[in-house]
Amino acid sequence: MITKDTKISKMLAQYPQTLEVLINYSPNFSKLNNKILRKTLASRVNVEQAAGIAGVNLILLLNELNKSINSDDAVTVDQGIAEEEMINTDKPEILKNANPEKIQKFDVRPIIDSGKDPFLEIMAKIKSLDADEVLHLINSFEPIPLYSVLEKKGYDHWTEKEGNVYNVFFFKTADVDEQQKEEIETQQAEDVEYENMIELDVRQLVPPEPMMKILENISKVDDKTVMIVHHHREPMMLYPKLEERGYKAVTNKIEDNYYKVVITKKR
């Protein structure tokens, strides 16, 4: 049975059919279609957090998920959790008084859109912050998993939603003892699946050279390695060639004439 504490990654591994349920349930889950994002994001998120991220009702989602795996167990989740307001309303004093120069803006949407997980970059950003600085994170969904991770590092958060944009402010509340901090970091490092990355920029090449360059390097892509291709278009003719050789690709349009193609080995 799937509960609110079930990790999404575990659920997807055990019951692959639930992926479809999630995606059908809310378009916000469609990012899970992207294997890289799925692997990195889903391993940190449980069902409750996922429901919060997508802004859907937890109980209804759990019902759907359990239905799909034919679980007869009744869903017994405290109604209160589902109704719990995910977004705080009162702006904390510390933010109201914050010096605008001390607020570091970081828009992670381009990174998400390009099919990558911004987690490492966010952590790097946090690390570079001075004690009195605030990180202003801009994202297209609420980064709930981050809250607990950063909480351990002594950061509190305050989130406001503007249309489809979430503005999340992380600010230091209490000092965390250095040793404890290190422990957390090592633990985090193990949580995220580190992968090697091959980057190719084929934007200056005319067909069929982009395809040639990609296929010539494809043998370097394995279970731990991903290829990111900067392309001037969506490589429609490449997909069947990759398919033939046991690879798959996800393409994200970044802007006109700039696409990022993420190629991974099929499992």
Partner 1 sequence: MSEPTSIVSAYSPPFRIVSKYFIAAISSFVLLNLFLLLNHSFIAGHHFSPKILAITHIATLGWVTMIIFGALFQLIPVVLEVKLFSETLAEIQFWIYIVGAIGLVYCFWTFTTGMYMDISAILLNLVMYIFSFNIIMTFTRVKNWNITGLYLGGAIFYLIVTAIAGLLLAINLGTPYIKIDHLQYLSLHAHVAIIGWVSMVIMGVTYKLIPMFTLSHGFKLTFAKWAFWLINIGLLGINTIFHYKDTTFLYYVFIPMIALGILFFLIQVYMIFQKRMRRKLDIGLKFSSYAYLMLALTTILGSFIAFVDYENITNLTIIYGYMIIFGYLSMLIVGQMYKVVPFLVWYHKYSSKVGLEKVPLLKEMFNEKIALYGFYFMMTALFGSLFSLTFRNEIGLVISFSLMFLSSLIFSFNMVTIFKR
Strand partners, 2: none
Q: Are 112 and 106 in contact (CB under 8 A)?
A: no
Sign for the CA dihedral angle at 29, 30, 35, 40 comes to: negative
Nearer to partner 1, 83 or 216 (CB): 216
Q: Which stretch binds partner 1 (CB under 8 A): 13-21, 56-64, 71-79, 229-237?
A: 229-237
Query: Is there a contact between 202 and 218 (Cβ–Cβ < 8 Å)?
Result: no
Residues 69-88 that bind partner 1 (CB under 8 A): none
Closest CA to 75 of 44, 51, 39: 51
* Segment lying near partner 1 (by CB under 8 A), choices 21-29, 67-75, 127-135, 241-249: 241-249
Which residue's CB is nearer to partner 1, number 16 or number 240? 240
Going along 90-210, which residue ranges are E strands?
Answer: 103-107, 134-139, 155-162, 165-172, 196-201
Q: How far apart are CA 81 and CA 57, in angstroms?
A: 9
Residue 244 binds to partner 1 (criterion: CB under 8 A): yes
Instruction: Give the span between the Cα atoms of 251 and 30, in whole angstroms.
Output: 14
Which CB atom, from 153 or from 232, has the smaller least distance to partner 1?
232
Amino acid identity for residue 196 in this structure:
N
* Closer residue to partner 1, CB minimum distance, 104 or 217: 217
The residue (of 130 and 244) whose beta carbon lies closer to partner 1 is: 244
Q: Among 215, 225, 248, 254, indicate the residue that binds partner 1 (CB under 8 A).
A: 215
- Nearest distance in Å: CB 33, partner 1: 18
In the complex, the residues that contact partner 1 under the rule CB under 8 A are: 203-204, 206-209, 211-212, 215-219, 232-234, 236-237, 241, 244-245, 256-257
